[in-house]
Amino acid sequence: MAKLTMTVNGRQVSGTCDDRTLLVHFIRENLGLTGTHVGCDTTQCGACVVHMDGQSVKSCSILAAQAAGSSITTIEGLASNGELHPVQAAFKTHHGLQCGFCTPGMVMTAVDMIRRHGGNLDEATVRAELEGNICRCTGYHNIVQAILAAAAETGGVRQAAE
Amino acid sequence: MGVEGIGARVARKEDKRFLTGKGRYTDDMVVPGMKYAVFVRSPHAHATIRSIDATSAKSMPGVIDVLDGKQLLADGIGNLICGWMIHSKDGSPMRMGAWRPLAHETVRYVGDAVAIVVADSVAQARDAAEAVVVDYETLPVVTDTLQALSEGEPQIHPEAPGNLIFDWELGDAGAADQAIAAAAHVTELKIINNRLSPNAMEPRATLGIYDAGDDHFTCYTTSQNPHLARLVMSAFYNVAPENKLRVIAPDVGGGFGSKIFIYPEEIVCLWASKRTGVPVKWTADRTEAFLTDAHGRDHVSTVKMAFDSNNRITALKVDTIANLGAYMSLFSSCVPTYLYATLLSGQYAIPAIHANVRTVYTNTAPVDAYRGAGRPEATYLLERTIETAARELGVSPAELRRINFIRTFPHQTPVIMNYDAGDYEASLKGAMEAADWDGFAARKAEAERRGMKRGIGMSCYIEACGLAPSAAVGSLGAGVGLWESAEVRVNAVGTIEVMTGSHSHGQGHETTFAQVVAERFGVPIDSVNIVHGDTDKVQMGMGTYGSRSGAVGMSAVFKALDKVEAKAKKIAAHLMEADEGDIVIEDGALKVAGTDRSVPWSQVALASYTAHNLPPGMEPGLKEGAFYDPSNFTFPAGCYICEVEVDPETGQTKIVQFVAADDFGNIINPLIVEGQVHGGLAQGIGQALLEGVHYDQSGQLLTASYMDYAMPRADDLPSFTVTTSNTPCPSNPLGVKGCGEAGAIGSPPALINAITDAIGNNELTMPATPQKVWAAVHSAH
């Protein structure tokens, strides 16, 4: 059994789990944060994306023990004071979600994508960057629109310049 | 239209919980004492079970129990059923083999469940499942659709000799043959519709809870139709009587048909909960989803389309073999029959049509409805054939379609359907303009200079949805009625709750249904709650599939609103001492027309519950229910155009534009309708370009993960151009048609027509992978 402590959504948490427990299961089952989802067993779908020390990672491909001491942000930690994060708000405005299952991973990926690319995001880049996130409902059209709009709003990027 | 009423582009009410991680899906549910289940599944496609030994598994850490099919049988749990009776053309009923929730004698596909392990954790259950020793005697296997009917092939069910389930026909064979013999031209094709895996992103899951105190069961499940699940589990599987079984389908992460059906796992987890005395939760992993979620399509067909010397279609003759897998799933029999052959007239006036459909058992996962269900198969066959005919006849594809369009309504086809309204010319024109069809030649020339092969293809689809008139489907063999129910409860403060038998698993009912209420009473959509997915909260319903929630579910709400409105007007008239006929509802108030007298909606609601001053004899309260049974299907139709560039060096196809011009009748929320079309297009493009389920000859599933099954990713798809030109549906009060499946129905032939146009070779099967396209390019002349 592994005993571990980490910071999740700004709060220090501790827990005990099997050595083989994946971070996503620790988050869902030990911490009860069920916004992070599991959609596959092969690290393909991206429904489990969280931020670890500021970078997006697939929490199904990391052992909980490997995340000990790190700072994790899940979808539950993104909105602040009841206000949606600009990426969350853009997904709503642009109907970038339907069943909602891939959505937490999509949003966490998008936040990190915008952080890394800033003003250089265009449609082709967004589509290429979404390689690791699968959505079966939206055909990605409105997800791409939402990410571009959020990038424009938060980064003062290409779209805003036009 | 108000700012939030019918037609308004309103962002969805339900989004906040999904965007903040507060959605509640079945696997998120935790109840006290809950344990975890893992199923022991057959690794063989066909085998006899000699014995099952769980002795060592039961002694492993954390294991509560291991239960098998003999125990399930001893407890009287029934067989899974197919709910739609089809008769062969000789009058004999379909030959349904037994499907046990846990196989105890024979396994018939890889993934067939044979035992359930219940343990303290998923990991412990998984470890123990691997320790269950099942002694199998393997049997010969057949997986191929055509091969299943051949002589000497393994017999899968004793009830179905030669693996033939039924041999069914629709239409007039004599008339079709005669017209073909007299034709000026006949186009003949072999058409294969590939097998698909639905792949809702949320894997199936279920939580069975038995309460010994009340002898009562609760089933959380990933269902598109919880009431139907309760009905079937109660009436056929002997799990529990309906009053002792509550089914809850909370947030459900996509369905696309795959979550209509009642699977073994729900039944077994409920039973296991009673046997073990603990709540039992099971969640599929993705490999289990690929192995056991009902697949879609898998048809092999030949088609003849006959033309007279004016290029008018005189007959269509189709012969289809459909693979239903190892067992007949809940609606498997109606998909390749009444949801398929009835659409073979397409958008065209065809005097004679005949379809013959044989269905077969194979050692593969059950096949049932997947987004479109039968209609994509009909559309692909028809639109590939007419495109091929246009090339053979030297007529432009648009012109050949125009010559044959149905132009007056209602139109009775030779294959049951009575089309109520449409304007096929309008969607064709809309699509061609949006795609700049006339500019294609220049674009093709430009692409050629870059060494690329550019092609354009169209598809004019029609589909029948809004399932369906109960008496009509009953006469065709359906075991259920396909009406919908609604109840509108106005609270004393004027807020409103709507109970609906429809179920939202991505469609946005919490918003669109509220818009219908907002339109009626002028109240904000935030004051309207849509309640669904719980048999304790909603009395009865038929659920969501076949693009029926708008046309049928909302129509039930509409009928209930009529009753609420009538009562509210009586109360308002009484309060204002006015004539009931003079009361109008505007801006959230009930007014006496032509005067300044009004009472707010909330006051009428309150008055109905205080009951201090109601019209004489009126019951207190403001709550009305309605059942709505449609009088016809609805018939969405449209024209899709796809333009591609094929790299002849690599066989890679790039979609450079995709235009969808649809006729959905009146639209409640364009934002949501566009989203439905986008998603449908992605699934149709996935079928045409990427996706395909493959079994090897021994029945092993080769495409059992996202490493092997090519799901459409963002960079496989273009941004879509979506337009509508609408003719209201005359048969329902809202004038709406269904929009959920159109994209998946209309898109595959447009894409294959475009690729075959680009490469100049009509021989191409789906999915058009680079390897296949490259081969087709290099064998083209």
Give the tens place of pLDDT for each residue, B564-579.
Answer: 999 999 999 999 999 9
CATH number, domain with residue A27: 3.10.20.30
Read off the pLDDT of residues B605-630 as tens digits, 9 standing for 90 and up.
999 999 999 999 999 999 999 999 99
The answer to which of A33-37, A131-135, B47-51, B776-780 has the lowest mean pLDDT is B776-780
> What mean pLDDT comes out for the span B145-162?
97
Beta bridge partners of B585: B590
Q: How confident is residue B2, by pLDDT bands cut at 50, 70 and 90?
A: low
Is A34 in the same domain as A91? no
Residue B435 has pLDDT above 80, yes or no: yes
**Which residues of chain B neighbour A103 with C-beta distances below 8 Å?**
18-19, 23
Mutate to test the interface with B, among A8, A41, A136 (most CBs of B within 10 A): A136
pTM: 0.97
Is A10 in the same domain as A40? yes
Element (H, E) at B555: helix B555-575
Extract the tokens encoding A63: 């052992």
Residue A157 has pLDDT above 90, yes or no: no
CB–CB contact B201 A42 (8 Å) = no
Q: How confident is residue A120, by pLDDT bands cut at 50, 70 and 90?
A: confident
Extract the tokens encoding B484: 């919908």
Beta bridge partners of B630: none
Residue A90 in any domain: the answer is yes
CB–CB contact A143 B714 (8 Å) = yes
**Are the beta carbons of A59 and A8 closer than 8 angstroms?**
no
Q: Strand ranges (DSSP E) for B120-204?
A: 133-138, 164-171, 185-196
Residues 372-401 in B contacting A (C-alpha not used; CB under 8 Å): none
Which residues fall within 8 angstroms of residue B774, CB to CB, at 6 or more apart?
Answer: B648, B650, B651
> What mean pLDDT comes out for the span B673-681?
98
> What mean pLDDT comes out for the span B359-375?
98
Number of domains comprising chain A: 2
Give the separation between CA B506 and CA B739, rounded to whole angstroms.
13
Residues in chain B: 781
Is A41 in the same domain as A7? yes
Beta bridge partners of B297: B195
- In this prediction, residue A119 carries a pLDDT of 73
Q: How confident is residue B781, by pLDDT bands cut at 50, 70 and 90?
A: low
**Which residues of chain A neighbour B713 with C-beta distances below 8 Å?**
130-131, 134, 140
- In this prediction, residue B427 carries a pLDDT of 98
Q: Which residue of B has its CA nearest to A102?
A: B201
The full 3-state SS of B125-173, as one line of letters, equals: HHHHHHHCEEEEEECCCCCCCCHHHCCCCCCCCCCCHHHEEEEEEEECH
> What mean pLDDT comes out for the span B135-146?
98
> What are the residue ranges spanned by the domains of chain B?
15-20+483-628, 31-139+202-253+259-292, 385-465+633-779
Mutate to test the interface with A, among B29, B126, B201, B256 (most CBs of A within 10 A): B201
Give the separation between CA B689 and CA B196, rounded to whole angstroms.
12
Residue A29 in any domain: the answer is yes
Give B549's DSSP letter: I
Read off the pLDDT of residues B524-575 as tens digits, 9 standing for 90 and up.
999 999 999 999 999 999 999 999 999 999 999 999 999 999 999 999 999 9
Does the bond joining B175 to the residue before it have cis omega, within 30 degrees of 0?
Answer: no
Pairing of strands B35-41, B280-283: parallel
Pairing of strands A49-52, A55-58: antiparallel
For chain B, the average pLDDT equals 97
Extract the tokens encoding B567: 């009562």
Read off the pLDDT of residues B636-660 as tens digits, 9 standing for 90 and up.
999 999 999 999 999 999 999 999 9
- In this prediction, residue A159 carries a pLDDT of 43
Q: Which residue of B has its CA nearest to A41?
A: B286
Is A68 in the same domain as A18? yes
- Find where tokens 């096949």 sit: B367
Is A119 in the same domain as A140? yes
Percentage helix, strand, coil for chain B under 3-state DSSP, each rounded to 5: 30, 25, 45
Which residues fall within 8 angstroms of residue B747, CB to CB, at 6 or more apart?
Answer: B459, B640, B642, B658, B660, B680, B681, B684, B685, B688
Is A68 in the same domain as A108? no
Is A132 in the same domain as A99? yes
Is A56 in the same domain as A109? no
CB–CB contact B679 A107 (8 Å) = no
Which domain range does residue A28 map to? 2-77
Give the separation between CA B571 and CA B160, rounded to whole angstroms.
63
Residue A162 in any domain: the answer is no
> What mean pLDDT comes out for the span B677-688?
98
- In this prediction, residue A162 carries a pLDDT of 41
CB–CB contact A136 B19 (8 Å) = no
Residues in chain A: 162
Does the bond joining B767 to the residue before it have cis omega, within 30 degrees of 0?
Answer: yes
Read off the pLDDT of residues B284-340 as tens digits, 9 standing for 90 and up.
999 999 999 999 999 999 999 999 999 999 999 999 999 999 999 999 999 999 999
Give B207's DSSP letter: E
Domain boundary among A25, A53, A77: A77
Residue B502 to residues B263, B507, B542: CA-CA distances in angstroms?
20, 10, 7
CB–CB contact B11 A93 (8 Å) = yes
Gap from B682 CA to chain A (nearest CA, Å): 5
Is A97 in the same domain as A68? no
> What mean pLDDT comes out for the span A8-16?
97
Residue B232 has pLDDT above 60, yes or no: yes
Pairing of strands B280-283, B496-500: unpaired
> What mean pLDDT comes out for the span B277-283?
98
Residue A161 has pLDDT above 60, yes or no: no
> What mean pLDDT comes out for the span B180-200?
98
Any chain B CB within 8 A of the CB of A116? no
> What mean pLDDT comes out for the span A46-61?
97
Of B505, B678, B681, the CB nearest to A142: B678
Domain B15-20+483-628: give its CATH architecture. 2-Layer Sandwich (3.30)
Residue B241 has pLDDT above 80, yes or no: yes
CB–CB contact A33 B24 (8 Å) = no
> Are both B31-139+202-253+259-292 and B385-465+633-779 of the same fold?
no
**Which residues of chain B neighbour A99 with C-beta distances below 8 Å?**
200-202, 251-254, 505-506
CB–CB contact B24 A34 (8 Å) = yes
Domain boundary among A56, A77, A98: A77
Read off the pLDDT of residues B446-465 as tens digits, 9 standing for 90 and up.
999 999 999 999 999 999 99
- In this prediction, residue B780 carries a pLDDT of 59
Q: Strand ranges (DSSP E) for B714-771?
A: 721-724
* CATH top-level class of B385-465+633-779: alpha beta
> What mean pLDDT comes out for the span B628-636?
97
Q: How many CB atoms lie within 10 A of CB B138?
A: 14
Q: Which residue of A has its CA nearest to B199?
A: A136
For B443-460, letters b (16+ CB in 10 Å) and e give bbeebeeeebbbbbbbbb
CB–CB contact A75 B20 (8 Å) = yes
Element (H, E) at B232: helix B226-235
CB–CB contact A143 B15 (8 Å) = no
Is A96 in the same domain as A126? yes
> What mean pLDDT comes out for the span B669-673?
98
Which residues fall within 8 angstroms of residue B775, CB to CB, at 6 or more apart?
Answer: B651
The domain made up of B31-139+202-253+259-292 has a fold known as Aldehyde Oxidoreductase; domain 3 (3.90.1170)
- In this prediction, residue A160 carries a pLDDT of 41
Is A93 in the same domain as A141? yes
Is A92 in the same domain as A128? yes
